[in-house]
Amino acid sequence: MLYNEWLKFRRSGLFWTLPVVGLFSPLLFMALRLSEKLRYTDSQTMPWIEYLGNEKTFFCFFIVIIWLGVVASQLISREYTDHTVSILYTYPTSRVAIIITKTVIVGFILLLTQAFEFTGLYFTSWIYKGEAMPGDLLVQELQRTGVSLLGQFALVPLFVCLSQLGRSILLPTMAAIGLMITNPMVMALYPTSYSPFVMYASSYVTIMSNSAALPVGHVLLVDLIMFAVTMGVLLLHTMKMEIRS
C-alpha cells in the first residue's frame, strides 16, 4: 500500500516540485545576503546563528505549512476528483490501514523536503560565509531540524482530516494560509508559546528573539498530544464517513 501511494505521488506534478520547494528558501536567502554584500561594501557578514535562524524561520513559517497543506490535500482529494474513492474504501483492506498509509506518505514527503532544505542550507551557507559550517553548529542544527520535523509530522493528521472533510484542496489550503498568516504573529507576541501549531518552528524563533529555549521534552509532548488527538479524530471520521465518489 505504501508503494502504491508513493507511485500516485510520483505520477503527480508535485513530485517534481518537491526539490524546488526544499531548495527555494536556502537559495533565496543566500541570493539576498550576497546581493546585500555586493551593494554595500561595508556590509558585515551575518553571524552563523542569525543566518541559519532567519532562513529556518522563513522556511518553517512560509513554505512548510503551505507545502503540507497542498501535499495532504492532493493525496486525499484526488481520490474524489479521479472518482476512485468508492473503490479505495471498499477494497478488502481496512479503512484505518488506508488512511494511516496516506498519513505516512505525507510524513515521508515532508522528510524528503526537509532533507533537500538542510542540504541546500549547508552548501549555500558555505558559499555565503566562505567556510563550511562548524561541526558543533552542524550537530545543533541537525538536532533542531529533527525537533522541527517531528513538529511537522504532528500536523499531518490535521491536514489529512481537513482534506477528507472538504473532499478538495480548498479547505486544507485555506487552513494552511491562515496558519501562515497567524503563526508569525503568535510567535512574535509570545515567542515561548506552546501553541501546537508552531512547535515545528519554536527552536528557531526563541533563538531569533533571544528568549529562553523551550524544553525539548515539553515541545515533544505537545507534538505527541496534537498528533494523537488529530489522528484519533481522523480515524473516527474515516470509519464513520459515508462513501460518495
Mean pLDDT of the 135-162 span: 92
Residue 244 pLDDT class (50, 70, 90 cuts)? low
pLDDT of 230 higher than 90 = yes
Q: What is the radius of gyration, based on Cα positions, of the chain?
A: 19
Residue 127 pLDDT class (50, 70, 90 cuts)? very high
pLDDT of 19 higher than 90 = yes
Q: What is the pLDDT of residue 102?
A: 85
Percentage of the chain modeled with pLDDT above 90 = 38
Only one residue has cell 501511494, namely 5
Q: Closest Cα partner for 198 from 211, 187, 210?
A: 187
Mean pLDDT of the 19-26 span: 95
Give me the DSSP letters along 64-106.
Answer: IHHHHHHHHHHHHHHHHHTT-HHHHHHSSS-HHHHHHHHHHHH
Classify the C-alpha dihedral 40-44-49-50 as positive or negative: negative
Among 90-99, 131-140, 210-219, the range scoring the smallest mean pLDDT is 90-99
Instruction: Tell me the per-residue pLDDT of 27-55, one tens digit each, with 9 for 90 and over.
Output: 999 998 888 877 766 567 788 888 888 89
Q: What is the pLDDT of residue 154?
A: 94
pLDDT of 177 higher than 80 = yes
Greatest mean pLDDT among 74-83, 139-148, 179-188, 205-214 lies in 139-148
Contact 118, 24 (CB under 8 A): no
Q: What is the pLDDT of residue 83?
A: 59
Q: Closest Cα partner for 168 from 72, 59, 33, 241?
A: 72
CA atoms within 13 Å, Cβ hemisphere of 167: 14
C-alpha to C-alpha distance for 67 and 25, rounded to whole angstroms: 13
